[in-house]
Amino acid sequence: MKRRLLSLLVSGALVVPAAMASDAGQVLNPVPGEKASVAVWKDDKAKMNAFIDDLLAKMTLDEKIGQLDLQSGIMAVTGSQVNHQYEDWVAEGKVGSIFNNFTYERAYPLQKRAVEESRLGIPIIIAHDIIHGHKTIFPQSLGEVASWDLEVARVGAEVAAKEATADGIMWTFAPMADMVRDPRWGRVSEAPGEDVYLATKMSVARVQGFQGDDLAATDTMAATAKHFVGYGLSQAGRDYHSTDISDHELWSQQMPPFKAMVDAGVATFMTSFNDLNGIPASGSKYLLTDVLRDQWGFEGFVVTDYTAVNELVPHGYARDDKHAAEIAFNAGADMDMVGKSYMDYMKELVQEGRVSEEKIDHSVRLILEMKWRLGLFEDPYRYFDKERAERDILTEENLELARDAARKSSVLLKNDNAALPLNLESIESIALIGPLADSKFDMIGNWAAAGDRRTQPVTMKEGLEARLGDSVAIHYAKGATYAHLHDEEETSTHIGIRSVARDVRGKPAHARMIKEAVEAAKKADVIVLGIGEEQRMSGEAASRVEITLPGTQRELMEELKKLGKPMIGVVFSGRPNDLSWEHQNLDAILHAWYPGTSGGHAIADLLVGDYSPSGKLPMTFPRSVGQIPIYYNMKNTGRPYNAENPNQRQEHYKSRYDDSPNTPLYAFGHGLSYANFEYGEVKLSSETLTMDGELTVSVEVTNRGEHGGEEVIQLYTRQMVGSVTRPVQELKGWQKVHFDKGESKTITFTLTAEDLAFYRADMSWGAEAGEFQVMVGTASDQVQKLGFTLVE
């Protein structure tokens, strides 16, 4: 093995290029605290700088450019292009990092070629999309946020890092922190929901889980804050589409999770596909240099998304790939993913004076620093250990943690007449029906690229069989498909998965499936449905114009409804669906998202009452697509509609629909329990709050039900008048608390003026004196309101 890289020289000064002008039409805004972030990595900076100074001095321009390139292997397909020469490029020092290529058998030989065949032996970083688990798959990301449990998010990322690093992966493209309001967009499944406060807390918890407190530890990995920024507001809910975002929206709703991840020491950033007010994010110096580097003090490196540099051309922002490489690199994109624009054109751009070698040195230094922090220069093979892979992956402990996360993430949307939990003393048989009741393939959801879809996941049927044994008979029938009748074959290139709707061969087969389901249901006391979307119907490149349950599921449920038996729906999907029909016709609805490898066991725990549902919605569920975008923290209108006004004539010329209520089907923060939580009177410590004081908000909560359970007590505020219009509600805190049967607890929150700060009319950050409301309750639409005054 080569050890050329271990020699150390004295540290040299790092020269950073002078900042260029901001993108046209964009204003550099202050951020809360106006203080540059400081990374939390445990660096011996003098030693690291001396080593990298020595290495940079030895590198040719070609070798430096090689460090700026990221190529994809072939173990997963996460984009439309793969350059199959990547293994030889690694050996030639033309590639600095590889993703979609892992395990000892695949990644170790690649690292060996980098270290032993390239001239300087610089190790590569091995990356992969470790989104919600590596091989032990946790609930889909949006579902995990539905737990409203920071420890669930942190532990899920920690387990993922432990397993992934055992398989040779040291860098993940997560967490995704795009704020979302349109469930048609498939990537809501990977997002942290619609609320900036909840998203910020969960994103930071995930960074902490992935990276731990030491990036050099072999069971932690570098995380990536993505997508920077605005991708979640893609117009029409169509993936990769354009965005148009005001300064107030950008800084109030989109930026905070990213700033918080910088403060938490996130290792890398990823650019977003979208343009932002006419400037593609991958070519925005304003975002990547002025804000991220100069204002926030980010010390890691920036990687583009898949071929995003090349896409500056169809955006109409670059003439060709060479021009795109010039724009993106000078904007602050240090590493080019897959597209080869830097590989093909960077040397010419330097020779032509369009890119400075000094700036290349700076970007290369950032990448080499991350390799140093990961311990790769000390031991390039430290993440390749066959025994550890056998010991640390898919352990019983990991599977149990995934089961717990799935229980805590599931949301009980409806439960009329205490249909759940199932009363095992009074029922002798269950009809288990639906296309997702026994589908291993769908349990782990999308962006679970290393997960086993064929044998490992536990389905709802398997979970119930394991829990019930012979005590309750289960009559199973698939009954329907989630494909449409004309879709005899559905194909997805996303993460290399091909799915075929084999049971759909026209109306005779469809009728036969429904008949089989009805016959099974006739034998049972209660009907439990496994319904929803096939896993590829959400995720990247999976936008939908209709978000009702697809295929023949509605027809199946209509026939079963005629039997007059209790019907319980367990919904599997990666987005908020239009469940209006299901809400009207089912007795209970449990939304399980895609619950992961241990999902079937978790669902059984919930259905039979071994665990009480405690999840709350992180995203509003609309009544129909016509309401989209719909979200809880909207601005008010000059003509607000009051549905409770008995004189509806007065409400005619107000902001409303003729054919639908304004309200959602299920509001942000909604989620029921088998416990029965009673809220006492909300109390304030004072009717005034000073700019340097504190206001205590308290409420007594009592569990009046027959079951113990966890409740998420939510705190919201509203500023009644501001220098700019303010949202009707803003989440400012929550507590997830367990209550035994009959137990009462006093829950206390503390508010300060900083909690009420916002970007004012002049884009300065701070609070404004005036009247406020504080709201406490079990969901955003079920709160008590009290007023207080913020005074100078």
Instruction: Render pLDDT for 66-91 as a digit per residue (tens, 0 to 9).
Output: 999 999 998 877 777 788 899 999 99
Half-sphere exposure of 768 (CA within 13 A, CB side): 20
Mean pLDDT of 556-585: 98
Whether residue 375 sits in one domain with residue 417: no
Whether residue 551 sits in one domain with residue 632: no
Mean pLDDT of 135-163: 98
**Predicted pLDDT at 483:** 77
CB atoms inside a 10 Å sphere around CB 424:
15
Q: 468-482, 485-499, 704-718: which range is least confident on average? A: 485-499
Write the DSSP string, 291-347: IIIIIT---SEEE--TTTTGGGTTTTS-SSHHHHHHHHHHHT--BEESS-HHHHHHH
Query: Which residue in the list 290, 305, 334, 336 is annotated as catalytic?
Result: 305
* CATH number for 501: 3.40.50.1700
CB atoms inside a 10 Å sphere around CB 750:
13
Whether residue 701 sits in one domain with residue 589: no
By the 8 A CB rule, do 517 and 475 touch? no
Whether residue 414 sits in one domain with residue 374: no
Whether residue 641 sits in one domain with residue 523: no
**Structure letter (DSSP) for residue 426:** T
Write the DSSP string, 13-71: PPPPPPP-PPPTT------TT-----------HHHHHHHHHHHHHH--HHHHHHHTEEE
The whole-angstrom separation of Cα 355 and Cα 339 is: 18
Whether residue 214 sits in one domain with residue 123: yes
Token code pair at residue 569:
């729906």
- Phi-psi bin for 274: left (phi > 0), alpha (psi -120 to 50), beta? beta
pLDDT by residue (tens digit) across 459-484? 999 999 999 999 999 999 999 998 75
Q: 3-17, 297-311, 315-329: which range is least confident on average? A: 3-17
CB atoms inside a 10 Å sphere around CB 188:
28
Token code pair at residue 451:
């997960």
Whether residue 302 sits in one domain with residue 431: no
* CATH number for 780: 2.60.40.10
Whether residue 126 is predicted with pLDDT greater than 50 in this model: the reply is: yes
Whether residue 329 sits in one domain with residue 436: no
Does residue 405 belong to any structural domain of this protein?
no
**Predicted pLDDT at 487:** 41
Write the DSSP string, 459-478: PHHHHHHHHHTTSSEEEEE-
CB atoms inside a 10 Å sphere around CB 209:
25
- For 283, residues 6+ apart whose C-beta sits below 8 A from its C-beta are 312, 317, 318, 324, 327, 328, 331, 333
The whole-angstrom separation of Cα 173 and Cα 182 is: 23
The whole-angstrom separation of Cα 550 and Cα 433 is: 16
Whether residue 303 sits in one domain with residue 164: yes
**Predicted pLDDT at 492:** 38
Does residue 368 belong to any structural domain of this protein?
yes
Q: Work out whether strand 782-791 and strand 588-591 pair parallel, antiparallel, or are unpaired.
A: unpaired
By the 8 A CB rule, do 785 and 748 touch? no
The whole-angstrom separation of Cα 207 and Cα 193 is: 17
Q: 51-55, 429-433, 487-491, 594-598: which range is least confident on average? A: 487-491
Q: Omega of the bond prior to 227 within 30 degrees of 0, cis?
A: yes
Mean pLDDT of 161-186: 98
CA distances from 672 to 148, 592, 617, 677 (A): 14, 13, 10, 10
- Phi-psi bin for 22: left (phi > 0), alpha (psi -120 to 50), beta? beta
CA distances from 18 to 145, 291, 296, 330 (A): 40, 14, 16, 11
**Predicted pLDDT at 501:** 39
Per-residue confidence band for 490, with pLDDT thresholds at 50, 70 and 90: very low
Point out the domain boundary residue: 339, 355, 389.
Answer: 389
The whole-angstrom separation of Cα 110 and Cα 112 is: 5
Question: What's CA 317's distance to the chain center, in Å?
Answer: 29
Annotation marks residue 305 as catalytic: yes
Q: Find tokens 């007059």 and name the residue.
A: 564
Per-residue confidence band for 29, with pLDDT thresholds at 50, 70 and 90: low
Task: Evaluate the CA torsion angle 130, 133, 137, 141 in order and state its sign.
Answer: negative
**Predicted pLDDT at 538:** 95
pLDDT by residue (tens digit) across 331-346? 999 999 999 999 999 9
Domain count, the chain: 3
**Predicted pLDDT at 778:** 98
Q: Omega of the bond prior to 175 within 30 degrees of 0, cis?
A: yes
By the 8 A CB rule, do 570 and 215 touch? no
Closest CA to 273 of 328, 223, 231, 313: 231
Does residue 46 belong to any structural domain of this protein?
no
Does residue 245 belong to any structural domain of this protein?
yes
The whole-angstrom separation of Cα 266 and Cα 296 is: 12
The parent domain of residue 517 ranges over 410-608
Q: Find tokens 């995930």 and name the residue.
A: 206
pLDDT by residue (tens digit) across 209-261? 999 999 999 999 999 999 999 999 999 999 999 999 999 999 999 999 999 99
Whether residue 419 sits in one domain with residue 349: no
Q: What are the b/e assignments for 464-475, b being 16+ CB within 10 Å?
A: bbebbeeebebb
By the 8 A CB rule, do 445 and 132 touch? yes
Whether residue 424 sits in one domain with residue 319: no
Does residue 317 belong to any structural domain of this protein?
yes
Point out the domain boundary residue: 608, 642, 666.
Answer: 608
Whether residue 32 is predicted with pLDDT greater than 80 in this model: the reply is: no
Average confidence score pLDDT of the chain: 92
**Structure letter (DSSP) for residue 569:** E
Whether residue 417 sits in one domain with residue 383: no
Whether residue 172 is predicted with pLDDT greater than 60 in this model: the reply is: yes
Does residue 403 belong to any structural domain of this protein?
no
Bigger pLDDT: 74 vs 122? 122
Whether residue 714 is predicted with pLDDT greater than 80 in this model: the reply is: yes
Does residue 21 belong to any structural domain of this protein?
no
**Predicted pLDDT at 75:** 81
pTM above 0.85, yes or no: yes
Does residue 614 belong to any structural domain of this protein?
no
Tell me the percentage of the chain whose pLDDT exceeds 90. 89
Point out the domain boundary residue: 581, 608, 635.
Answer: 608
- Strand residues in 543-684 grouped as ranges (E): 567-572, 588-591, 677-679, 683-684
Whether residue 19 is predicted with pLDDT greater than 50 in this model: the reply is: no
> Residue 96, exposed/middle/buried by CB under 10 A (0-12, 13-18, 19+)?
buried
By the 8 A CB rule, do 206 and 177 touch? no
**Predicted pLDDT at 26:** 53
* CATH number for 256: 3.20.20.300
**Predicted pLDDT at 31:** 53
The whole-angstrom separation of Cα 588 and Cα 161 is: 36
Token code pair at residue 646:
């008995």
